[in-house]
Structure 1
Amino acid sequence: MSERAKKKLKMQFGFIIIFIFIIGVQLIVKNYFVNHPPAWTTGLYISCFIIFCILGLLTYLDLKKQEQFVTIGQIVDVKKDTNIIIVKGLGRGHRKILIKDSHILSMMQPDQRIEITRLKYTGMITRKVYRDQELQL
């Protein structure tokens, strides 16, 4: 998996943990300062908070180990001024893909094939191969 994909997964994990932490703090603080709840609810809140943290961790691990799909797409259009190619065959409709290698971009022509590796759930591109040469992400 590329560095960009790893960085995005770490960011998603961080957002999951922050979200769960904020919800847990709001529930605990609201009930302690307003209602003075019975003792059994404290255990309930803490166990729910731990369960949410475990579910967030499982979601992160599932995203990290998700399958990658290799798709062969057909180049529809090459926009050299914006370093973007439009590819058909990556799901519904056409998809714009940014290419950082400008010398390879100048060689690309419509109706040629490009191999794209994407993640299953997020659809994020992890690898691009054009004429047996891997492109930068």
Structure 2
Amino acid sequence: SKKVHLTLPKWGGQISSNGRYGLYAPTRGVFDIMAFFTPTNEHVIYYHKGKRTIRVFRAKDGPQLVDMKCPAKVRQGTATNDGRILVVGYEDGAIQAFLIVDRSDESMVDYLRSWRIHQLQSTVEPERQETAERQLE
């Protein structure tokens, strides 16, 4: 029962929750990076501090889904348990939430439709109540 030890220099230790994949995102120069898997292991989130950009990659086959410029330096980033929303906190105290939209995932289309209907209902209901109250007067 011999054990094999493997050393990966400069590896940050980021692995998927099932242990099958690891992330190696070396820092070149003076700028730090942040890279992690979403909890569902479907996407990889990559942030470069110098460029102030967040990139989202599909973990299955590797294409880049989005590249967005951040308004301030990112302090912390995390994804929700279902892996569909990325929550980002900035150094200036602002917090943003982004939907991770993967066009190859059919369930994402249904999720967006239901989310849109939910958002529409939450804005329409107060207006309906105000209109009904005005008509009663």
Aligning the two structures, in what range does the TM-score lie when normalised by the shorter sequence? under 0.3
Compute the TM-score of the two structures, normalised by the length of structure 1.
0.22
Compute the TM-score of the two structures, normalised by the length of structure 2.
0.22
Instruction: Specify which structure has the bigger relative contact order, considering alpha-carbon pairs within 8 angstroms and separated by 6 or more residues.
Output: 1
1 or 2, which has the higher helix percentage?
1
1 or 2, which has the higher strand percentage?
2
